[in-house]
Chains A and B, each alone.
Chain A
């Protein structure tokens, strides 16, 4: 038998109040990153030794810009979810742990936005 209340069961969020959200987001971004990373590596290999102009031309193609933005968002989201788990597992001092997780999340948002805005400014010819 289950001791959980019917409401608690229906919400399915458990004691941490987040349910399978973290787990699911990590898997979803993982699945997205498989083809995105393969595409990006192939694209990069084609860009080796190129000057600024052809690279910028490649990045500013709508399909490249779109995929790059999706790649950046998925990769940074996936990275900060993973780093959070690593910190939770190995940092046992409560204050340091929270500080580390907050730092990782802030850095991911900042760096991710920086990369996204760079792609957009290239594709809009700025």
Chain B
């Protein structure tokens, strides 16, 4: 192995912990969770195409408290990944790299994900 003696970049543990790191890893975690959660979307659509009985089964699962909990988590993961994804797109365009801006947009992403999740569920329960 010729690469053995090459210098390595510092490992993650070396860096002082900052909470923007948490946003970064949560972006990945929500991405993976959303990928798995897409099974629900497939199930819902397939059930709808099969007929009223199959669809009622799927609806009953989503209506159960456990199903609602999963859907609630899915909603938050979606809005978080979506908001932070927009943050990433701005970085891709070369904007928002200043330290203070980075912290500011981090707060904004967390806030937006909570507000959007709240709005969706309040609307779902017919409260707004």
Interface size class of A (residues with CB under 8 A): 35 or more
Contacts of A76 in B (CB 8 A): 38
Determine the main DSSP class of B at the interface with A.
helix
Determine the main DSSP class of A at the interface with B.
helix
Chain A CB within 8 A of B51 CB: yes
Q: Chain A nearest CB: distance from B107 CB in Å?
A: 20
Contacts of A122 in B (CB 8 A): 45, 48-49
Q: Chain A nearest CB: distance from B9 CB in Å?
A: 14
**B41 with A115: CB separation less than 8 A:** yes
Chain B CB within 8 A of A41 CB: yes
Residue of A nearest to B27 (CB): A82
State the CA gap A31–B92 with chains docked (Å).
12
Interface centre among B32, B49, B82, B89 (most CB of A within 10 A): B49
Which residues from chain B sit less than 8 Å from chain A, CB to CB? 28, 31-32, 34-35, 38-39, 41-42, 45-46, 48-49, 51-52, 55-56, 63, 75, 78, 82, 85-86, 88-89, 92, 120, 123-124
